[in-house]
Amino acid sequence: MARKFFVGGNFKMNGTIKSITEIVENLNKAQLDPNVEVVIAPPALYLLLVREHVRKEIGVAAQNVFDKPNGAFTGEISVSQLKDSGIDWVILGHSERRTILRESDETVASKTKFATENGVSVIWCCGESLEQREAGKTLEVIASQLSALKAQISDWSKIVIAYEPIWAIGTGKVATTEQAQEVHASIRAWLAKEVSQSVADETRILYGGSVSEKNCKDLSKEKDIDGFLVGGASLKPAFVDIINCKA
């Protein structure tokens, strides 16, 4: 079964009611490739606004979720609250949360387990720092992140993997198509060896890290790159060009 191309837009901590409404209006009127699954992730405050107004075939993702049922967890959002609000996706393990907010591989895995077991799909992020890449540890770091995930989950069908080299996020530096393909192929090989061939064949692996309308076409031609997780460019009209890069 062919893997459906996937483009996610991570707005991060950006946007206002006005600017996010404009992004939604732009997506609603655009001609989007019907063979691409699109999911956008506004800040939590705007999730309901976006879900209410964006065309129904576009998915909406939270940028975080907690790994416990509703209760005394001030400042957190639960999986059931996302579902109640029509939010079917969540981004977990983004490097900004791993590094700035000190989320461990185990915490990310626990959140992923709770989300997927309770009906919310996950864009699960992994990636290495510049120091780790220069030390030749890229594949080792990602294997460690994947191992922590595998220790807690058995159903991979609700997971999309996003490889985001930390050194390329928001820096303007982009992994070459060859560098990106090499890591994507190694992730797929890890899945085949450690999980199963069917999970390796079916799991979509996205590239993230300064993806733009200028580099997306070349990246999308690589056989193990199944889409993108887009940061800053998802706030711009060019996001439509990235969605349509295979059209």
Alpha helices, H only, the chain: 17-29, 47-53, 79-84, 95-99, 105-117, 130-134, 138-150, 177-194, 197-202, 216-220, 239-243
CA dist 136 and 121 (Å) reads 32
CA dist 21 and 45 (Å) reads 13
Q: Which of 37, 96, 164, 213 is catalytic?
A: 164
Task: Please indicate whether residue 94 is annotated as part of the active site.
Answer: yes
Tokens of 131: 């120091």
Beta strand pairing call for 89-92 and 159-163: unpaired
Query: Given phi > 0 = left and psi -120 to 50 = alpha, else beta, which region is 166?
Result: alpha
CA dist 10 and 139 (Å) reads 24
Q: Which of 94, 128, 184, 213 is catalytic?
A: 94
CA dist 48 and 20 (Å) reads 12
Task: Please indicate whether residue 202 is annotated as part of the active site.
Answer: no
User: Which residues are tagged catalytic?
Assistant: 94, 164
